[in-house]
């Protein structure tokens, strides 16, 4: 249970306003350079996407591993089981609220689904992580009485852990239900089918000139088999063919190379002639054979020979691997046919299940999830945890320190990309959708209400009741209460802009939503959420 003294976790309103303003201003200061650089034209959408992907692939996994593996243990893993329960409750309430708002604004199915996506999928990554780190260093009273000697760094680490679990649960729902249903392209809706056919955006046939993937692959393989040796002949970049010559075979190339070497040999020996021509003494007006030019030609031929040999070697290796695969498949098929029919039926069923599990795992898993899984393994084995995080060990001084430094880049880079996204989203967007021009304002207001207002009003008493009367697991951790409140009223996720761009779903409205959420309403919204969280913590103490 929470056992701090009353008002220890609740500073005065003026002080709280200052602390929240400091936390938000820190986020703004880190995001501002990305905004400025993007407005100057040096940070376009492709570069933003590259850095965002780099962050997901490298820096964020390092941050996850260092924070989770150093803080987790077997008892905490059991306590974290309450997070999926709260996530389901939050998602259900946001869904019901957004559906009700869509009906209140008399929206059709497609715009109503858009409002639902804006209301259900909140930001659980860039902004909340930065705010949790900042608040853990500025607000007092967030230490957990269950942990002896709890520090600000441990409070921040636990907050990041909670956010990361919420984030991965949200990612799963966002890229499945959100991508394929709520933010589906216009062609998926029957009422827009005729319109998209007229616009040429709905067709089951491949584009003109495009090959069906299977035929293209077959054609490529046939061409490769017929011209394998010709394609392996190396032609140096920038080499200009001599007029009147044709593509030479490997034998011709060898003959030309041998002739060139003989001519060079005669020239270097000073015999006075190349192929019967007499070399003039230096200084005479007649042209003299250029020695550097001949060396360049010889180098190019040598490079061509080496590259051709390398190409033939690689082709031989590929053929050997392909032949081995075919032989292995034939052997497996023969062994399979020798089995009794009941055993083959069982193996077929088991193989299908295994293939589906394999496909699901590789489709669902991503670098942050792999990092989380590895962190759980390390945290579950005390010897491994000491090996990585005990001061003075070789692994700690080398590998762990390198991973920690790499992970330190994650949050600043997230915020820089956030600033660049806002710069792109504040630019003028010409709507190509007449429907968007008609209902754009209603979509904007409905989305803000569904995401940043009504869920907070409904979830606040639920979270307070959990903290007061159900002090199980991590529910009575003050930073967990703060995290829950921040997520209930967080702005819409930035990834929704990417999905809207891919599926061409109300892109102009999406840009306005992000600007309103992250620039206009973020400070008052964060202040209210933090105040509610601290009031809940104080009420749970009584």
Cα angle vertex 91, ends 361, 533, to 5°? 115
Residue identified by tokens 């991503």 is 366
Per-residue pLDDT band for 213 (boundaries 50, 70, 90) equals very low
Contact between 71 and 456 (Cβ < 8 Å): no
Dihedral angle sign, alpha carbons of residues 58, 61, 65, 71: positive
**Residue given tokens 């201003």 in the structure block:** 25
Query: What is the per-residue DSSP string for 275-299?
Result: TTEEPPPTTSSS----HHHHHHHHH
Mean pLDDT of 275-291: 44
Per-residue pLDDT for 193 more than 50? yes
Q: Domain for residue 414, yes or no? A: yes
Position 296 in a domain: no
* 32-86 residue pLDDT tens: 999 999 889 888 888 887 888 888 789 988 988 888 788 777 777 788 888 999 9
List the single range of 172-181, 188-197, 385-394 with lowest mean pLDDT: 188-197
Of 109-118, 387-396, 495-504, give the range with the top mean pLDDT: 109-118
Number of domains in the chain: 1
- Summarize pLDDT for 315-359 with one digit per residue, the tens: 888 888 888 888 888 888 888 788 888 888 888 888 888 888 877
Please, which residues have CB within 8 angstroms of residue 372's CB and are 6 or more apart in sequence?
64, 65, 68, 164, 168
> Which range marks the domain in which residue 395 is found?
13-199+365-541
Q: Please report whether residue 469 resides in a domain.
A: yes
Has residue 287 been placed in a domain? Answer: no
Separation in Å, CA 45 to CA 50, 125, 514, 515, 517: 9, 20, 16, 16, 20
Summarize pLDDT for 462-484 with one digit per residue, the tens. Answer: 998 888 888 777 888 889 999 99
What was the pLDDT predicted at 406? 94
**Residue 95 counted as domain residue:** yes
- The answer to the question of residue 120 being in a domain is yes
Q: How far is residue 231's CA from residue 506's CA, in Å, rounded to a whole number?
A: 47
Q: What is the CATH number of the domain that holds 511?
A: 1.20.1530
Helix, coil or strand: residue 409? coil
Is 108 within the bounds of a domain? yes
> Could you tell me which residues are beta bridge partners of residue 277?
274
Burial class (CB in 10 A: 0-12, 13-18, 19+), 55: buried
Q: Is residue 473 one of the residues assigned to a domain?
A: yes
pTM metric for this prediction: 0.62
Q: Which stretches of 284-340 are DSSP H helices? A: 291-337
Residue 431 pLDDT greater than 60, yes or no:
no
| Other CB atoms within 10 Å distance of the CB of residue 480 | 27
- pLDDT given at position 479: 92
Are 114 and 505 spatial neighbours (Cβ–Cβ below 8 Å)?
yes
């Amino acid at each position: 249970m929470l056992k701090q003294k009353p008002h220890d976790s609740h500073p005065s309103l003026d002080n709280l306003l200052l602390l929240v303003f400091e936390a938000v201003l820190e986020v703004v200061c880190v995001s501002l350079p990305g905004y400025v650089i993007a407005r100057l034209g040096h940070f376009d959408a492709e570069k933003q996407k590259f850095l965002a992907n780099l962050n997901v692939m490298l820096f964020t996994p390092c941050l996850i591993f260092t924070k989770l593996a150093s803080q987790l243990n077997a008892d905490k893993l059991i306590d974290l089981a309450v997070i999926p329960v709260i996530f389901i409750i939050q998602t259900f309430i946001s869904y019901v609220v957004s559906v009700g708002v869509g009906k209140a604004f008399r929206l059709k199915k497609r715009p109503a689904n858009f409002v639902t996506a804006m209301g259900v999928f909140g930001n659980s990554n860039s902004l909340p992580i930065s705010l949790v780190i900042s608040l853990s260093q500025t607000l007092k009273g967030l230490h957990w009485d269950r942990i002896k000697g709890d520090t600000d760094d441990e409070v921040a680490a636990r907050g990041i852990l909670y956010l990361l679990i919420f984030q991965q649960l949200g990612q799963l729902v966002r890229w499945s239900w959100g991508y394929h249903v709520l933010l589906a392209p216009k062609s998926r809706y029957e009422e827009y089918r005729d319109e998209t056919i007229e616009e040429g955006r709905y067709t089951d046939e491949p584009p003109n000139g495009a090959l069906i993937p299977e035929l293209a692959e077959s054609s490529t393989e046939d061409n490769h088999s017929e011209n394998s040796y010709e394609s392996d002949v190396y032609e140096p970049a920038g080499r200009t063919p001599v007029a009147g010559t044709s593509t030479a075979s490997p034998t011709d190339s060898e003959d030309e190379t041998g002739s060139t070497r003989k001519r060079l040999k005669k020239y270097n020996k000073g015999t006075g002639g190349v192929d019967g021509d007499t070399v003039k003494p230096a200084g005479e007006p007649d042209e003299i054979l250029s020695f550097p030019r001949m060396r360049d030609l010889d180098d190019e031929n040598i490079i061509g020979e080496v590259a051709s040999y390398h190409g033939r070697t690689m082709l031989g290796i590929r053929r050997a691997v392909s032949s081995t695969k075919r032989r292995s498949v034939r052997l497996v098929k023969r062994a399979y046919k020798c089995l009794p029919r009941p055993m083959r039926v069982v193996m077929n069923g088991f193989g299908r299940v295994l293939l589906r599990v394999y496909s699901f795992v590789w489709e669902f898993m991503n670098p942050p999830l792999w990092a989380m899984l590895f962190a759980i393994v390390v945290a579950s084995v005390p010897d491994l945890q000491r090996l990585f995080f005990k001061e003075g060990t070789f692994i700690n001084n080398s590998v762990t320190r390198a991973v920690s430094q790499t992970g330190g880049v994650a949050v600043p880079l997230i915020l820089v990309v956030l600033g660049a996204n806002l710069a792109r989203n504040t630019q003028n967007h010409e709507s190509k959708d007449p429907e968007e021009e008609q209902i754009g304002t209603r979509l904007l207001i409905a989305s803000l209400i569904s995401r940043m207002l009504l869920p907070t009003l409904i979830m606040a008493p639920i979270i307070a009741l959990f903290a007061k009367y159900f002090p199980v697991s991590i529910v009575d951790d003050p930073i967990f209460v703060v995290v829950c409140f921040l997520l209930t009223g967080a702005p819409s996720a930035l990834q929704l802009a990417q999905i809207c761009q891919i599926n061409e779903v109300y892109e102009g409205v999406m840009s306005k939503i992000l600007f309103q959420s992250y620039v206009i309403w973020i400070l008052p919204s964060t202040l209210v959420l933090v105040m509610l969280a601290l009031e809940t913590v104080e009420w749970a103490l009584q």
